[in-house]
Chains A and B, each alone.
Chain A
């Protein structure tokens, strides 16, 4: 049983994670029907509290909550307390006063969802929708779900990812996606390798439950899936790599490199993509790239997380009562 919050991929045991993926599969089959809505969260209020612009993640959560019939409020907190806007605390107290049952928070500061969950400002569930360079657990869940659909049979109910080989390439240092994926995929039994220039590897990465490689060509032939991370141009200013062109040459995924991969291996990307930098247009548009499917799965995974955290049962009963 997960909850009351989802702050880190490390919060989940293998059983929990498989449970979320199974619930996702069930909900996905429901939303394939013509009437996409379930009444599960009717009367519950879910707040999308976004301190960073991230239209795609916000929309994904919003859609997920609406398909569960929750009332959804989008709170775009322009300017966090870092930039002297309203403080996180006052925002939290406001949402609490309005009766939010769950707060989905995206924040530029690592650990902000922990403060929200533990400082005593609110009582509802907190779902981490990405905090600084720390974690993004629902992204890891949607990636795991996408992987399972491809490496196991159709819906893969009950399956974990034991023995699946996943390569994550890019700015591991600044990536919350990488952190959550390394934790979750390992929990599910996958074998993860992270690839990046040494400057973009986190300090102490050798203690992480994954392999480390600086050479993408070395690891592609054995990968079941390759996850490409967005590399931001401003990293050049920090001297993490000399030029975008050199980065692309050494770590970008183009057709030549894709051909090194086993024929059934898939290419993933959390988006938004920098075409021509970490991923070439040919690869991004190839049938092996499952980027669009990841987006679809993201909605279903987030439905499952809210469903489980807010007291819905997989049978889909209408749950009005709020937990003490």
Chain B
């Protein structure tokens, strides 16, 4: 019999205060505030309690680039951000394109024990876009992969994309597409716009994303497969996805916190901390993404947490790596953009950041509602706190946050992963 815990006075989804009693990894009881009993009482008065967050898009860099992040450091960053599950993208070295690599990542996640690490399998061998990887072997491995993606690169060949969409139906998998036409984005450095023309940086036009999404939703409709679209970044993409959903096409889509907050104007500093792929877009795109999240066109918030060592950002723009940290700041940004503005309530946030990503990734023990019998994956959020982002205080091994110095609302106080405290009062337990 493990230690029993009561979260005292926490407000599930920001609603009425309750005591949540956790025992044997599950929620054993939800009772009146102040009446719950357990071995350990954790004060959570006035805190919002959410199901543990689930990230469908995380780069943990291990194996191969452990100087940027490890499964251990990434797990810590995730836990401190309120996550109980992350999906580790396949663009490691070696690429996660075999059962061996995905099992290695999965096992290492269990050893670290802070979050559930779900490996994403590559769609094509070596992310080369030429030949399907052994998707079935990865699906049937101990890691039980359900999400497949060449993220970082687009599955550009339309026939290969069609085959991948069809093939993963056999094990209820989903292809998560990084929508970027490679020919239209050769050498691209930033959003193609009046600003890119002025700065003399090669443009990444919105159409390079939108044309691939349009093609893919039609392919998904044609073969009757699920499609997930990674990091949607443009107003036009939102329109295409909205249209696809209106036709009943089984497409889901994600937006990242940075595409919901930051705009391309930051590129004028030439500071590569703002270099990311897809690039930061116009204010109109940010607005369209926010509306799409609010109306359900975009299903989930995913971080695209992309750690890079200092030298990959401490250089000129063109030489810099693309990507930003995201795990430890995602919930604060969502709180600022959606809760403080009144666009969404906490139930909707729980769906966007936990239930829906768990559903898309087919992760059974995650994203469950806060109710008796559910697996005790829970995040306790103090909405009254304010947090100033300090790069050197992040748990990630890298420092490439674009938010340094920014004050965000709230703070992750506690996290329970399968009934165990992984974060206690803002620190790894």
Asked whether B198 lies within 8 Å of A110 as measured between CB atoms, the reply is no
Which A residue's beta carbon lies closest to that of B205?
A203
Q: Is the CB of A111 within 8 A of B319?
A: no
Query: A315 within 8 Å of B by Cβ?
Result: no
Knowing A81-B319, A114-B269 touch, does A204 contact B314 (C-beta < 8 A)? no
- Chain A residues contacting B365 (CB-CB under 8 Å) are none
Among B200, B317, B319, the residue within 8 A (CB) of A133 is B200
Contacts of B126 in A (CB 8 A): none
Within 8 Å of chain B (Cβ to Cβ): is A222?
no
Contact B194 A176 (CB under 8 A): no
Contact B317 A115 (CB under 8 A): yes
Q: B-facing mask of A96-133, CB < 8 A → 1, else 0? A: 00000000000111111011001100000000000111
What's the minimum C-beta distance from B200 to chain A, rounded to whole angstroms?
Answer: 3
**A204-B199 contact in complex given A109-B319, A114-B269, A119-B314, C-beta closer than 8 Å:** no
Q: Which residue, B196, B271, B319, has most C-beta atoms of chain A within 10 A?
A: B319
Within 8 Å CB of B193, what residues of A? 203-204
Contact of A89 with B315 in the complex, beta carbons under 8 Å: yes
- Check if B194 sits within 8 Å of A207, measured CB to CB: yes
Residue in chain A with minimal CB distance to B187: A238
A108, B202: Cα distance in complex, Å: 13
Cβ B198 vs Cβ A204 within 8 A: yes
Is A134 part of the binding interface, using a Cβ–Cβ cutoff of 8 Å? yes
Contacts of A203 in B (CB 8 A): 192-194, 196-197, 203, 205
CA distance A203 to B314 in the complex (A): 28
On chain A, the residues within 8 Å of B318 by CB distance are 82, 108-112, 132
Q: Is A80 an interface residue (CB 8 A)?
A: yes
**How far does the alpha carbon of A242 sit from the alpha carbon of B259 in the complex, in Å?**
38
B317 touches A81 (CB 8 A): no
Chain B nearest Cβ from A293, distance in angstroms:
27
Which residue of chain A has its CB nearest to the CB of B197?
A202
> What is the bound-complex CA distance between A109 and B200, given in angstroms?
9
User: Any chain B CB within 8 A of the CB of A144?
Assistant: no
A204 and B197 contact, CB distance less than 8 A: yes
Is B243 part of the contact surface with A, judged by Cβ < 8 Å? Answer: no
Q: Does B171 contact A (CB under 8 A)?
A: no
List, in ascending order, chain A residues with CB within 8 A of B203's CB: 203
- In the bound complex, residues from chain B placing their C-beta under 8 Å from that of A160 are none
- A179: interface (CB < 8 Å): yes
Complex CA gap A112/B198 in Å reads 15
A133-B200, A135-B200, A203-B203 are known contacts. Are A82 and B319 too (CB-CB below 8 A)? yes
Question: In angstroms, how far is the closest chain B Cβ from the Cβ of A202?
Answer: 3
User: Is A30 part of the contact surface with B, judged by Cβ < 8 Å?
Assistant: no
Task: Determine the distance from Cα of A131 to Cα of B318 in the docked complex, in whole angstroms.
Answer: 11
CB pair B198–A109 under 8 Å, yes or no, is no
CA distance A95 to B194 in the complex (A): 35
A205 at the interface (CB under 8 A from B): yes
A residues less than 8 Å from B198 (CB atoms): 179, 202, 204, 208
Which residue among B192, B193, B311, B316 has the maximum number of chain A CB atoms within 10 Å of its CB?
B316
* Cβ-based interface call for A161 (8 A): no
A131 to B319, CA, bound (A): 13
Residues in A neighbouring B379, C-beta threshold 8 A: none
Which residues in B have their C-beta under 8 angstroms from that of A80? 316, 319
Residues from 167 to 181 in A contacting B, C-beta threshold 8 Å: 176, 179
A87 on interface, CB distance cutoff 8 Å = yes
Q: Check B315 against A111 for contact (C-beta < 8 Å).
A: no
Tell me whether A223 is interfacial, beta carbon within 8 Å.
no
Given A114-B269, A114-B270, does the pair A179, B315 have CB atoms closer than 8 Å? Answer: no
CA distance A133 to B197 in the complex (A): 9
CA distance A98 to B189 in the complex (A): 33
Interface 0/1 of B92-127, CB less than 8 Å to A: 000000000000000000000000000000000000
Q: Does A88 contact B (CB under 8 A)?
A: yes
Q: What residues of A have a CB within 8 angstroms of the CB of B200 in the complex?
A: 110, 131-135, 176, 179
Cα-based distance from A109 to B270 in the complex (angstroms) = 10
Which B residues lie within 8 Å of A118 (CB)? 269-271
Q: Is the CB of B315 within 8 A of A110?
A: no
Chain A positions 70 through 105: 1 when the CB is less than 8 Å from some CB of chain B, otherwise 0: 000000000011100001110000000000000000
B201 contacts A by Cβ under 8 Å: yes
Please tell me if B195 contacts chain A, counting CB pairs below 8 Å: yes
Q: Within the complex, which residue of A89, A108, A111, A208 is in contact with B201, where a contact is CB–CB below 8 Å?
A: A111
Residue on B nearest A116 in the bound complex, by CB: B316
Q: Tell me the complex Cα distance, A80–B201, Å.
A: 17
Among A118, A119, A135, chain B packs the most CB atoms within 10 A around the CB of A119
B338 to chain A, nearest CB (A): 31
In the assembled complex, the Cα of A163 lies from the Cα of B189 at a distance in Å of 36
Q: Contacts of A135 on B, CB cut-off 8 Å? A: 200
Residues of B within 8 A of A207 (CB): 194
Query: Across the interface, which residues of B come within 8 angstroms of A111, CB to CB?
Result: 199, 201, 270, 316-318
Nearest CB to that of B202 among chain A residues? A133
Complex contact A81–B316 (CB within 8 A): yes
Name the CB-closest residue of B to A182: B198
Most buried by B among A89, A111, A135: A111
Q: Which residues of A contact B194 (CB under 8 A)?
A: 203-204, 207
Q: Are B315 and A87 in touch, CB under 8 angstroms?
A: yes
Q: List chain B residues, Cβ under 8 A from A134.
A: 199-201
What's the minimum C-beta distance from B389 to chain A, rounded to whole angstroms?
Answer: 20
20 A-B interface contacts by CB (under 8 A): A82-B316, A87-B319, A88-B315, A88-B316, A107-B316, A111-B270, A111-B318, A115-B270, A115-B317, A118-B270, A118-B271, A119-B314, A132-B318, A133-B201, A133-B202, A134-B201, A135-B200, A202-B198, A203-B196, A203-B205
Q: A110-B200, A204-B194, A205-B197 given; name 7 further pairs at CB < 8 Å.
A: A87-B319, A108-B318, A110-B270, A111-B199, A111-B201, A112-B270, A115-B316
The 4 closest A-B pairs by CB, nearest first: A204-B194, A111-B270, A134-B200, A202-B197
